[in-house]
A and B are shown apart, each in its own frame.
Chain A
Amino acid sequence: SSELTQDPAVSVALGQTVRITCQGDSLRSYYVSWYQQRPGQAPVLVLYGYNKRPSGIPDRFSGSTSGTTGSLTITGAQAEDEADYYCHSRDSSGNRVFGGGTKLTVL
């Protein structure tokens, strides 16, 4: 089992705002990064560090961490944002770990 907990599924209406969360005690101490995985494709880094986006990632993606909860927010969700989203950080022992993933549906 993962020490990073994500909701299995979230839905959002086209153009609306959605927040995907990742909960873990280790997030008090370690950075969280977020990955988007579309069906049949490799994961892609979308957020890292203190709300930083790699080149090419739209600015509708933003991130934050408060206490033990990391969040990925999509402001104005688009159809192409429908995907699985995974958080990543360290566990309580310092080992790398991924959250269980959240399937985002854009209605």
Chain B
Amino acid sequence: QVQLQESGPGLVKPSETLSLICTVSGDSISRDYYYWGWIRQSPGKGLEWMGTVYKSGSPTYNPSLKSRVTISVDTSKNHFSLNLTSVTAADTAVYYCARFCSTSTCYEAFDFWGQGTMVTVSS
């Protein structure tokens, strides 16, 4: 069974960088046709796609976050990471990592999700 687990600080100060790691088990992050993404959800709000990365790199980002977000993959550790710079209170959210399936049988969908981790931006 594919499992994803987010890890990182639960509290980040304004103007600093939010850094999270998603560790994948039960699957290889190097597998063809599967991408790895970050989605966040502010309190009481909907889901916001932040970005997605393939095993070779080449991430794609939400244009609204593009200047602040970096997603990278470490195939040797079977994990991928999120960095979000210059955070403000508006970045307070639950951050989810997820596997994105893009094969001819699963079309395009986030088929496995982590449990999510709450990150609060506050001094």
**Chain A interfacial positions (CB closer than 8 Å to B):** 2, 30-31, 33, 35, 37, 42-45, 48-50, 52, 54, 84, 86, 88-90, 93, 95-101
A59 to chain B, nearest CB (A): 18
Instruction: Provide the B96-111 mask, 1 if CB < 8 A to any CB of A, else 0.
Output: 1000000001111111
**Which residues from chain B contact A31 at a C-beta distance below 8 Å?**
107-109
Q: Tell me whether A33 and B110 are in contact in the complex, defined as CB-CB below 8 angstroms, given that A42-B115, A93-B63 are known contacts.
A: yes
Does B32 sit within 8 A of A, measured CB to CB? no
Does B49 sit within 8 A of A, measured CB to CB? yes
9 tightest CB-CB pairs across the interface, nearest first? Answer: A49-B107, A48-B109, A33-B109, A98-B47, A101-B46, A96-B49, A31-B107, A42-B113, A100-B46
A48 to B99, CA, bound (A): 14
Q: Are B46 and A99 in contact (CB under 8 A)?
A: yes
**Chain B interfacial positions (CB closer than 8 Å to A):** 37, 39, 46-49, 52, 60, 62-63, 96, 105-111, 113-116
Q: Are B96 and A43 in contact (CB under 8 A)?
A: yes
**Which residues from chain B contact A93 at a C-beta distance below 8 Å?**
63
**Which residues from chain A contact B49 at a C-beta distance below 8 Å?**
88, 95-98
A84 to chain B, nearest CB (A): 8
Q: Tell me whether A33 and B107 are in contact in the complex, defined as CB-CB below 8 angstroms, given that A42-B115, A43-B47, A96-B49 are known contacts.
A: yes
A33 to B62, CA, bound (A): 18
A97 to B64, CA, bound (A): 12
